[in-house]
Amino acid sequence: MKPHGHRLSAIARALGTTVNGDGYDPVIEHLVIDSRKPLPEEGALFVALKGDRHDGHRYVPDLVDRGLQCALVSDGTSAVPLTLRVRDTLDALQRLAGWHRAHHQLPVVGITGSNGKTVVKEWLYQLMRADEHIVRSPGSWNSQVGVPLSVWEIRPEHTLGIFEAGISQPGEMARLQAVVRPTIGVFTNIGPAHEANFSSDLEKALEKARLFKDADALVYCADHGVIAEAIDQSRLDQRLTLRAWSRERSAWLHVVREETVPHGKRITCINESTEFTFEIPFADHASLENALHCVTLLLHLGMDTRRIAERMPLLQPVAMRLEVLEGRNGITLINDAYSNDLASLTVALEHLDVVGRGRPRAVVISDIVGSGEDRDALYQRMAALLRRAGADRVLTVGTELAARTDLFEGRATHYTDAQDLIRRCDPAELAGHAVLIKGARGFTLEQVVHRWQRQVHGTVLEIDLEAIRHNLNHYRAQLSGGTKVMAMVKAFGYGSGALELARLFAHEQVHYLGVAYADEGIELRQQGIQLPILVMNPEPVPFEVLDRYRLEAEVYDERSLLDAADHARLFPAMPPVHLKLDTGMHRLGFMPAELPRLLHLLREHPHLRVASVLSHLAASEDPAHDAFTRQQIAQFTAMADAIDATLGYRPFRHMANSAAVRRFPEARFDLVRLGIGLHGIGSDSAETAQLLPTASLRTPIAQLRQVPVGDSVSYGRRWVAQRPSIIATVPLGYADGLSRRLGNGVGRLWVHGSAAPIVGSVCMDMCMLDVTDIPCQIGDMAYLFNTEHPVTEVARDLGTIPYEVLTGIAQRVKRVHLQG
């Protein structure tokens, strides 16, 4: 593989500057803009960006202390061994990325528009990743900074680039065009975003169209009149190949029919006289539009209609960054209380569909502010969206919605403002509902979220569901097409909340959920989770209870097998069982010496249906025990073969945990069981670097006090101030899951990126931090772990494993789940 980076001297020449330093000429592979994140071990160039509220130059000395060798600066800092000095570091970053782009002659898709950029990008990736080595924008990195950082990731091995570009004011797109230089363009749509900075939608469309000035082809919807006008005025039709799709008129791709099917939409199109049909697992208008952009591009690239029809039904939803909170009275709150327009409402309602599957749904929604659309037409479209979303109740806030009661067909209750809603609506009326709270910022609907959420403890465990989704896809990418996934949600979902994880995994279409005890499975069933659930640990639960909740039991000895067989004789429709084999873990399961007896019992009870045969690896993550692991795999295979021969059919097999997915491909069999890997902990540091941290635990500073020399802090007087000290008290104690072993300087929390040692003994509900050298104030957040300082660091301080830290976080700590 060719090196990804460039010599620092070459970068300096490209930027029209020189290297200030000692003559060393490193290869630069990484561009760094966030000083809070760990530095790469080598090959990093820190770009000291300036903004309205930040200046990267301030953090250069700290970075040098951490090993930084190279920086791109505009101020006269001399602390860095090697510096490139330019007039404007943002401009230099963009020119550097454009220069890097020019080194790679791969086809690049550039996507712009008001909405749908990220979805189209991610769907194109899903649709083409089997054929192409794709580099694409991470998340929604479509800004003046995000685009060059994305383009910098192009490597020689990539065969296709997909980048999104967003603008908020005139003059910005020309700078991004010089970075991306797309060969193919996708123009999604024009909506109300950033309309205050443009005189008209046409002006905005003309600005966005600048992205395609040197492209070879452009995909767009001809039904968007303003986009068609922008293409005409920009004379793009004279310079590139237009690939338009349309519902309303003849086009290169003509949509002739759309039909609702049980799991989405069936779409019939004509492309150059050829009619074909495909289905997508979505039914909303935005998804249809995004899907048609994708299909048009795939056709332009030469993909045949058969493959398109095979792949479109497999599209997966693209996550949004919404908060999911546990509310009072069994309510699940979806907090999107900071924006309101029809495009984002469509996205939020899709998430309501995920969270509210099988439950009543309610929407709290405010007037829309700042849209230039005719108000009656605007709210008619809103009402139609809410109807399609199956909202059982609508609670509107604002005078404009109150004046349009007839649109909601008797399902709506109107309130003047957030306080009126809080006073007059008892959340008990919405017991058991999934409730989307969606409002423009001025309506302060976050007050409603605060009043209706169940836990208001200031300490919060924040779980990034998008990161969990990323980690799931990391493992899925290593599996062959037929290998299924079981997601483990035992122990309260590894401390992250079993129900929300189960909903995520259901949405991601994993095949099984794994729990430790029947109670965990019963709770998931009561909350509407329909996926198959395997109960893996022993407890005296009657099979009639497991049967009632459609829970599948692990059978691990003669007693449990006979109990299952007795129940199956009376109730032949009971869920199948799973046979656990002990191949060396020596915890549960039939030993190799017990195999003859097991086979005899299976022959005696042919009515007992066996879904799977499984075993548990003892040390799959440890290279020192690889020979033992391979011995386990061989033993399992031999025992499972004998079971197959006895049964006369082949139950599916599973043995691999997260670590074994990468380290022992031969152990993947028919299904893999993913646990800690989903939470960002890989089998080694190399794999962990490919995963995303999923959780952060934060707590607010409740009090600051000055402690003189000689005074002690906390119980037992185990810590005494050796200097005048500033001590912060935070509401995080051992009842919340903070181990007392972290007291007296063993552990730390992080305040504004600096380590604040825990001083004195950890109390039940609080602990104290030494913040003498950290500027802070009451209300500032202290983090036990987060993205920059992952849970593995806490586990290391405790001399334990991350499992113990995560599962030890008490349920009284509020969980906030983030989407997108």
Residue 770 bridge partners (DSSP) = 727
679 vs 125, residue with greater confidence: 679
Q: What is the average pLDDT across 448-454?
A: 87
Quick one: pLDDT at residue 381?
78
Residue from 365, 362, 360, 390 nearest 379 by CA: 365
pLDDT of res. 153: 87
Per-residue confidence at 492, pLDDT binned at 50, 70, 90?
A: confident
Task: Report the distance separating Cα 95 and Cα 19, nearest Å.
Answer: 17
Q: Which residue's structure tokens are 């995994």?
A: 505
Determine which helix (DSSP H) or strand (DSSP E) holds 653, and give its type and residue range: strand 652-654
pLDDT at 40 over 70: no
Instruction: Find where tokens 């002739």 sit.
Output: 256
Highest mean pLDDT among 94-108, 401-415, 542-556: 94-108
Candidate from 105-109, 479-483, 632-636 with smallest mean pLDDT: 479-483
The residue with greater pLDDT, 458 or 516, is: 516
DSSP, collapsed to helix, strand or coil, labels residue 643 as helix
Task: For residue 517, indicate whether it is catalytic.
Answer: no
- Strands (E) across 465-547 are located at 484-488, 512-515, 533-535
The answer on pLDDT for 110 being more than 90 is: yes
The whole-number pLDDT of residue 339 equals 66
Q: Residue 754 has what pLDDT?
A: 93
**Residue that has been written with the tokens 């299976």 in this structure:** 602
**In which band, very low, low, confident or very high, does the pLDDT at 77 lie, cut at 50, 70 and 90?**
low
Mean pLDDT of 623-645: 97
Mean pLDDT (the chain) is 90
What is the DSSP track for 408-472?
Answer: GTT-EEEESSHHHHHHH--GGGGTT-EEEEE--GGG-THHHHHHHBS---S-EEEEEHHHHHHHH
**Angle made by CA atoms 435, 436, 440, in degrees to the nearest 5:** 145
pLDDT above 70: percentage of residues in the chain: 95
Higher pLDDT, 537 or 293: 293
CA distance 113 to 95: 23
pLDDT band, very low/low/confident/very high, at 714 (cuts 50, 70, 90) = very high
715 labelled catalytic: yes
Burial-class residue 430 by CB neighbours within 10 Å (0-12, 13-18, 19+). Answer: buried
**What integer pLDDT is reported at residue 139 of this predicted model?**
59
Q: What would the two tokens of residue 381 be? A: 């479209």
pLDDT for position 282: 87
- Which residue of the set 490, 494, 512, 580 is catalytic? 490
Question: Range with the lowest mean pLDDT among 317-321, 439-443, 573-577?
Answer: 317-321
pLDDT band at 648 (very low <50, low <70, confident <90, very high): very high
**Residues of the chain above pLDDT 90, percent:** 67
3-state secondary structure of 38: coil
pLDDT at 702 over 70: yes
Q: pLDDT band at 52, cuts 50/70/90?
A: low
pLDDT given for residue 115 in this prediction: 87
Distances (CA, A) of 90 to 330, 439, 496: 48, 34, 38
* Rg for the chain, CA atoms, rounded: 29
Q: In Å, how far are 446, 489, 730, 744 from 781, measured between CA atoms?
A: 19, 29, 9, 21
C-beta pairs of 661-667 under 8 Å, 24+ apart in sequence: 661/475, 661/478, 661/479, 662/478, 662/687, 663/620, 663/621, 663/626, 664/617, 664/620, 664/629, 664/630, 664/633, 665/478, 666/633, 667/617, 667/620, 667/629, 667/633
pLDDT in the model for residue 658: 95
- pLDDT, residue 534, reads 96
Single-letter amino acid code for the residue at 16: G
pLDDT tens per residue across span 258-272: 998 887 899 999 999
Mean pLDDT computed over 602-614: 96
- pLDDT over 70 (residue 755): yes
**From 350-364, 523-537, 622-636, the region with the lowest mean pLDDT:** 350-364
Give the pLDDT of residue 222: 95
At 663, is the pLDDT very low, low, confident or very high (cuts 50, 70, 90)?
Answer: very high
Q: Which residue has the tokens 């003892």?
A: 618
What's the predicted TM-score (pTM) here?
0.58
Q: Is the pLDDT of residue 695 over 80?
A: yes
> Using an 8 Å Cβ cutoff, are 392 and 424 in contact?
no
* Residue with more model confidence, 53 or 570: 570
The pLDDT value recorded for residue 816 is: 85
For residue 563, pLDDT over 50 is answered with: yes
Is pLDDT above 90 for 734? yes
> What's residue 2's pLDDT?
43
Kindly tell me if the per-residue pLDDT of 400 is higher than 80: yes
DSSP conformation class of 232: H
Q: How far apart are CA 524 and CA 521, in angstroms?
A: 5
Residue 222 or residue 52, greater confidence: 222
Return d(Cα 359, Cα 373) in angstroms, integer: 33
Q: Is the per-residue pLDDT at 294 higher than 60?
A: yes
Strand order in the sheet with 274-280: 134-136, 160-164, 108-112, 184-187, 217-221, 241-246, 253-261, 264-271, 274-280
Confidence band of 1 (pLDDT split at 50, 70, 90): very low
Q: What is the pLDDT of residue 264?
A: 86
Greater pLDDT, 775 or 36: 775
270-286 mean pLDDT = 91
Name the helix (H) or strand (E) containing 9.
helix 8-14
Structure tokens at 474: 């990391």
With contact defined as beta carbons under 8 Å apart, do 332 and 368 qualify? no
Please tell me the predicted confidence (pLDDT) of residue 191: 79
Is residue 340 within 8 Å of 446, Cβ to Cβ? no
Question: Per the structure block, which two tokens stand in for 732?
Answer: 């995080």
C-alpha closest to that of 748 among 723, 736, 735, 730: 730
pLDDT number for residue 538:
65
CB distance 320 to 248 below 8 Å: no
The confidence score (pLDDT) of residue 774 equals 93
Enumerate residues 6+ apart whose C-beta is below 8 A from 26. 7, 8, 42, 43, 69, 70, 82
**Spatial CA neighbour of 244 closest among 178, 293, 310, 283:** 293
456 pLDDT more than 70: no
What distance in Å separates the CA atoms of residue 223 and residue 238, rounded to the nearest whole number? 20
Q: Which range is least confidently modeled, 338-352, 509-523, 661-675?
A: 338-352
How high is the pLDDT of residue 319?
46
pLDDT mean over 183-209: 87
